[in-house]
Amino acid sequence: MRALITGISGFVGSHLAEHLLNSGGWTVAGTVYGDAGNIVHLRNELELYEAELSELDTVRDIVSDCRPDAIFHLAAQPIPSLSRDDPWFTLETNIRLQINVLQAAAQVTPRAAVLVVGSSEEYGRVGETDLPVDEDTPLRPTTPYGVSKIAQDYLGLQYHLSHRLRTVRVRPFNHLGPRQRRGFVAPDFASQIAEIEAGQQPPVMTVGQLDVARDFSDVRDIVRGYVMALAHGEPGEVYNLGAGEAHTIRELLDVLLSHASVPVEVRQDPARMRPADTPKIVSDCSKFHRQTGWRPRISFEQTLADVLDDWRAQTKINT
């Protein structure tokens, strides 16, 4: 089997490439735009295309050259908070790239399976009566990022209906793990702890809202789910992927601090204390469990220990 991963050098893409290579039976190609540091250790095992995917001709040429059996489209602007500051950049990037991938697949490899990656951000403002969130929960996005993901999601459905593409749509909930960049809660906390341990900053962490609760999974479980979605999912269908339990940001912080080798003082910054649009969200993934048998394997605590160890290693390299 031949796989094409757009955004292969990103946080999720690099873990997906590792998973496919370790599984055996896969030849893996991918697109790279910008920093390729996450896949340096895999470069000799991958076929890489250095390309920016905003032009259809570029994407079509890559798909024509690669001839994939499976396309995992991960290239995107992934940060919800950034979408508030620059809505059009997020909408233009995520929607344009998704259209180009679907159009290229329809024109060049119409029998390929295509994974369309949405997000739990599509659900947006969720109340207690909506929990746990299943695929029929109304979509009430609270960020332009969430809107962009709804567009990607429904483009995947549209191309299945209009072009008979074998698209499978997934809505992953929050996922964590090694290599995740700053701008997300776990690496923001873990990087501060690692720098405090290394003596690179005073033993004080600044944090924002701690009482919101999110459904956290390990990225390595999520990419395993992505492969199972294309192997066993029903084309045209949409599936939630998540742990099925919620942890507060305070719990996440406490687990990381329990692994710190030095005392750390935590201070809440009033400037970061914005009220949450959604105080709690937790997934119902029973549809995906029934269809594929997938369930998370890696514990919340193990994931956070691995995140902190990853930032310790990065901090040591940068010292």
Residues 165-224: tens digit of each pLDDT: 999 999 999 999 999 999 899 999 999 999 999 999 999 999 988 999 999 999 999 999
Taking alpha carbons only, the member of 314, 301, 303 closest to residue 197 is: 314
CA 57 to centroid of chain Cα atoms: 26
Instruction: For residue 216, give every residue at least 6 positions away whose Cβ sits within 8 Å of its Cβ, in sequence order, or none.
Output: 173, 174, 175, 176, 243, 247, 252, 300, 303
> Are both 237 and 292 inside the same structural domain?
no
pLDDT at 274: 66
DSSP 199: T
- Phi/psi at 213 (nearest 5 deg)? -120, 135
Q: Is the CB of residue 98 less than 8 Å from the CB of residue 85?
A: no
> Are both 99 and 190 inside the same structural domain?
no
C-alpha to C-alpha distances, 123 to 84, 134, 141, 173, 285, nearest whole angstrom:
17, 10, 6, 10, 14
CATH number of the domain residue 106 falls in: 3.40.50.720
pLDDT in tens, 39-55: 999 999 999 999 999 99
Taking only Cα atoms into account, the Rg of the chain, rounded to an integer number of angstroms, comes to 19
> Are both 110 and 34 inside the same structural domain?
yes
How are beta strands 265-268 and 217-218 bridged, if at all? unpaired
> Are both 97 and 137 inside the same structural domain?
yes
> Are both 79 and 228 inside the same structural domain?
yes
Residues of the domain holding 290: 185-214+246-318
CATH number of the domain residue 267 falls in: 3.90.25.10
> Are both 199 and 227 inside the same structural domain?
no
Q: Is the CB of residue 240 less than 8 Å from the CB of residue 135?
A: yes
CA pair distance 202, 267, nearest whole angstrom: 12
Q: How many domains does the structure of the chain reveal?
A: 2
CA pair distance 46, 306, nearest whole angstrom: 25
> Are both 110 and 158 inside the same structural domain?
yes
> Are both 21 and 155 inside the same structural domain?
yes
CA-angle at 120, arms to 225 and 22, nearest 5°? 20
Global pTM value: 0.96
Instruction: For residue 27, give every residue at least 6 positions away whose Cβ sits within 8 Å of its Cβ, in sequence order, or none.
Output: 1, 2, 3, 47
> Are both 138 and 276 inside the same structural domain?
no
> Are both 65 and 152 inside the same structural domain?
yes
pLDDT at 134: 98
Half-sphere exposure of 167 (CA within 13 A, CB side): 29
> Are both 168 and 229 inside the same structural domain?
yes
> Are both 170 and 198 inside the same structural domain?
no
pLDDT at 81: 87
For the chain, list residues with pLDDT below 50: none
